[in-house]
Chain A
Amino acid sequence: MVEKNKGLQGAIHIFFILLTLLCVVPFLLLIIASITSESALIHDGYSFFPKEFSADAYRFLLLDSGSIVKGYGISALVTVVGTLCNMTLTTLLAYPLSRQNLPGRNIIAFVVFFTMLFNGGLVPSYMMWTQIFHIKNTIAALLVPNLMLSAFNVIMMRSYFTSNIPDAVIDAARIDGASEIRTLIQVVLPMSVPILATLALLAGLGYWNDWLNGLYYISDNNLYSIQVLLYQMLTKADFLKSSAASALPVNISLPSTGIRMAVAVLGTVPMLLVYPFFQRYLVRGIVIGAVKG
């Protein structure tokens, strides 16, 4: 807008400073709790200014890092492989849909779109994955159900292709003798970085943060992702004790509250570290894909 006055600017900054604090302060409480001594946590409660600090929780995680490291490994593996699969499927489906002259394009588009309107729900999906595909307690359970392709993302990417890549460019590549797949990889994708970055970030978030597939299909401790581990630690009070019993010297009492907080911190950090790299594409990707499409 035009004509801005100083008072308004000041008020807006104050509003945003309060808002950003509101977004960050809960995490600060979590981080401080993870370095608060167990006795202070239990007796004085969660506080921004604890009476006694302690690194016991992190020390314990270093000592007995078995399940945490494994959970991290599984989350990382699932996130990388899952995001790659997701992006491959999404791109390969969105590109043909963006080609105006492809016969049957509308039928394919409808088949994709209809999955956004109607679905079978949890019970039939659960039965199918467990009884037909026997997915329980396999790594595939964390990768395949629900997260590998979303109709919404396909539509976003298709809109991006149709509004940003002129038909003439594709025609030129085809006339030069490039195959369809080469046209896609060498001509279309390099022109689509914002939408690729945006959808990859969303897919990666979906995998890293997912705990539902783990909740439904995984009961084997060895396959717990970091989020499922967190869920188990919060709901089952003795989860830590049973998994830690072997590694812990008898005379050390378990700083279980602090450990939970430390794992929650560690479970959040990777996404926050990756996010800035994607951020500059995010606005453009979301806008062009979602709004103008």
Chain B
Amino acid sequence: MEKTVWQRFTRAIRKFWPLYLMAALGLLYLFINNYMPMAGLVLAFKQYNARKGIWGSDFNGLKNFEFLFKTRDAWIITRNTIAYNAVFIVLGTIFSVTVAILLNEVRSAKAKKLYQTVTLIPYMVSIVVVSYLANALLATDNGFINTQVLAPLGQDPVAWYTTPGPWPVILVLINLWKGFGYSSIIYFATLVGINREYYEAAVIDGASWWQQVTHVTLPGLKNTIITMTLLSVGRIFYSDFGLFYQVPMNSGPLYDVTNTIDTYVYRGLMQNNNIGMASAAGFYQSLVGFALVLAANTIVKKISPENALY
């Protein structure tokens, strides 16, 4: 006997209602926190008027986007967001994989645990505290680098917070410092799972340490590297707001090298009261970000289907 959709539906509810009820709580949260704001993206096509609210404000077509893309900012924030992320992904992966491989080589279990614990500490602190650490090093008048490193060398102090040149390097180093502990745990955990027989076979074949790394370890890590990279590439249009806003102390002279889409949207919304441009930039981020996840996943699906996200 054919069951109608409705019959199947009521049967499922009768049998599984406790499970649906459990899921409902989380789904309600996602609906409010994640889905409702999606409707607000329409603001990018409106002339926002606080008195009329989101829905009452008048449409102004693509004006917000015209204004946004006429400015130099549109190019700068796109370039910064993507370029920093690309460098973070490449250097972060290389460094974390190296640390994981070397950690796996450490024979003493105690030392292994100690190294693992300590390298995770930077990951545990807030970005605000990181900005304190950076400030202790970089403050112009009394920072460690100016007073304890440059002065004894007879060098003039550098006004770090108004000199854009070194900031790309500073931000990359801070990001690397804060994040490598966590990702190297993930790679390390994969390494531990590689079958020891592969190494034994390699040794019997006369493989050197380096050959074991390139022929057994790295292929064993391939899947994890692809998955982790795919996840980061999917987020390439998003940046760590705190790193680009608070660590450079929101300093104007540095905007050229610190302004990303997220800091731009925040400043437009909270400081410059430029809701139109902020929501246009936000819309641009959501849409292009979405397209990039889909593209990255499609590519992965072609070259290594088991690592695709869906």
Contacts and interface: CB of A to CB of B under 8 A. Distances in A.
Interface of A: 1-5, 8-9, 12-13, 15-16, 19-20, 22-24, 26-27, 29-30, 33, 41-48, 88-90, 92-93, 95-97, 99, 102-104, 108, 111-113, 115-128, 131, 144-146, 148-149, 151, 154, 179-181, 184, 205, 208-212, 216, 227, 230-231, 234-235, 257, 260-261, 264, 267-268, 271-272, 275-276, 279, 282-284, 286-287, 290-291
Contact of B290 (A4, A92, A117, A149): A117
A145 B54 CA distance: 19
A227 B134 CA distance: 16
Given A9-B107, A268-B125, A96 B19 contact: yes
B282 A122 contact: yes
Nearest to B241: A212
A127 B16 contact: no
B103 A16 contact: yes
A111 B43 CA distance: 23
Contacts of A111: 27, 30
A276 B114 CA distance: 11
A125 B234 CA distance: 21
A212 B27 CA distance: 24
Interface stretch (B77-85, B116-124, B159-167, B252-260): B116-124
Nearest to B16: A102
Given A119-B34, A264-B129, A283-B188, A44 B144 contact: no
A23 B119 contact: yes
Interface stretch (B67-75, B86-94, B261-269): B261-269
A97 B23 contact: yes
A209 B126 contact: yes
A103 B8 contact: yes
A45 B150 CA distance: 12
A8 B209 contact: yes
A199 to B, nearest CB: 13
B139 A46 contact: yes
Interface string B3-39: 0000010001000101110110111011001111111
Given A3-B209, A102-B16, A227-B126, A90 B26 contact: yes
A268 B33 CA distance: 29
A120 B136 CA distance: 36
B173 to A, nearest CB: 10
Contacts of A112: 26-27, 30
Nearest to A104: B12
B218 interface: no
A122 B203 CA distance: 54
A287 B223 CA distance: 13
14 contacts: A3-B209, A4-B107, A9-B106, A9-B107, A16-B103, A19-B119, A23-B121, A96-B16, A111-B27, A120-B37, A122-B266, A148-B33, A210-B126, A212-B241
A113 B22 contact: no
B203 A123 contact: no
Nearest to A118: B290
A46 B118 contact: no
Nearest to B289: A118
A65 to B, nearest CB: 20
Contact of B142 (A44, A90, A179, A231): A44
Contacts of B39: 120, 124
B76 interface: no
Given A92-B23, A93-B26, A264-B132, A122 B16 contact: no
Nearest to A280: B113
Given A16-B111, A104-B12, A121 B128 contact: no
A287 B203 contact: no
Interface string B176-192: 01000100011011101
A245 to B, nearest CB: 23
A20 B186 contact: no
B47 interface: no
Interface in B279-304: 279, 282-283, 285-286, 289-290, 293-294
Nearest to A180: B18
A67 B16 CA distance: 50
B186 to A, nearest CB: 6
Given A45-B143, A89-B26, 13 more contacts: A2-B212, A3-B209, A19-B119, A23-B181, A29-B133, A30-B133, A47-B144, A111-B27, A116-B234, A127-B54, A151-B30, A212-B242, A267-B129
B117 A230 contact: no
A19 B99 contact: yes
A92 B132 contact: no
B16 A286 contact: no
A33 B200 CA distance: 51
A121 B41 contact: yes
Given A1-B199, A95-B22, A234 B132 contact: yes
A108 B30 contact: no
A210 B246 CA distance: 13
Contacts of B283: 121
A212 B129 CA distance: 14
A33 B136 CA distance: 9
Contacts of A104: 12, 20
